[in-house]
Amino acid sequence: MNLYHNLEIAIQTPHIETKEKLTQHLFEYCSQNEFISSEDFEPILFPSPSYASFCTIVDPKVLKARKDFNTNEGLATLIHAIAHIEYSAIDLALDAVYRFPNMPQAYKLDWLEVALDEIRHYKMLNALLNELRYAHGDFVVHCGLFDASNHTAHDVLERMAIIPRYHEANGLDVNPQIVKKLHNRRKIPVVKKLIDALDIIYEEEITHVYKGDKWFSYLCEREKLNKNIYFDILEKHKLIGKHRPHFNVLARKEAGFSCDEIKKLAKIECE
C-alpha cells in the first residue's frame, strides 16, 4: 500500500465518504505495519483546501458575527461554522501524517485516530444542518486553518504548537460558551442534539489537544529545547495576545498546558 499517495487522495477529496473510507483503511494499515517506508517521498503543498469546490471562501474580516440563534437560519449558520471547522480539522490531522513522514509510528496512529474522530464530529453536525434543510457550503467560509497548515508545513514542532496547541485549544475555550448560549433553547429537539454533539466534541477535543501537547513535548525533548519555545512560535506567527477572553483553565490543564503557560497566555490565576 502506498500510504502517502492515499493520504494525498484523502486530503484533497471533497467527498466525506471517500475521506472516511481511506482514513479507516490507513489507520488499519498503520496499526498492522510497524515500519512504513518513506523513501523518495516528497510532500507537496496543496494549492487550495478540499472544500474549495463546494464552499465560497472569503476573508475572515467580512464574516458576520453569529449571535442570533433563535431562527433556523441563525442556528444553521452556527452549526455550519462549527461543521466547517471539524471538516477542516479532518484534513489537518491527515496532513500531520502526510507532511512529516519521519515521525514515529505512534504519531501517525495518533493523528489518523484524530482524523477519524473529526470525521465523526463533522457527520454529526452535517446531519443537523441537513435537518434544518441546509448543507455544508450554503454559507461563506474562511480558510484560516488551511492557511495555518501551509504556514507550518516546514516544521513539525511549529505544526504541533500552532494547530493543536493554539487553534484547537482555543476551541476548548469557545465550546462551553456556545453551549451556555444555547441552554435556554435546549427543549427544541435540534438544539438538544446540537448541545449533545458539542459535549461529545468537547471531551474528544481535549484528547486531541493532549496529543498535540504530547508530540510537542516529545520534539522539545528530542531537540533539547525548552518548552517555552511555544511562545516564540506564537510570536513568530503573530498570535501572541490573540487568545479569547473565556479561558478554559481546567480543560487546558487536562490537555497538557502547565499553569506557567496558562498564566502567560491569559494573565489569570492557575493552581
Q: Which residue has the cell 518513506?
A: 38
Whole-angstrom distance, CA of residue 96 vs CA of residue 167? 14
Domains and CATH numbers, the chain: 3-33+50-266 (1.20.1260)
Asked if 19 and 118 touch (Cβ cutoff 8 Å), the reply is no
Asked if 96 and 159 touch (Cβ cutoff 8 Å), the reply is yes
- The count of C-alpha atoms lying within 13 angstroms of the C-alpha of 131, restricted to the half-sphere facing its C-beta, is 15
Whole-angstrom distance, CA of residue 71 vs CA of residue 74? 5
Query: What is the tens place of the pLDDT at every residue in 106-128?
Result: 999 999 999 999 999 999 999 99
Whole-angstrom distance, CA of residue 64 vs CA of residue 226? 40
Which pLDDT value is given to residue 94?
98
Asked if 75 and 190 touch (Cβ cutoff 8 Å), the reply is yes
pTM recorded for the entire structure: 0.95
- The count of C-alpha atoms lying within 13 angstroms of the C-alpha of 200, restricted to the half-sphere facing its C-beta, is 16
Residues 6+ apart with CB under 8 A from 61: none
Sign of the C-alpha dihedral computed for residues 84, 89, 90 and 91 taken in this order: positive
| pLDDT band per the 50, 70, 90 thresholds, residue 60 | confident
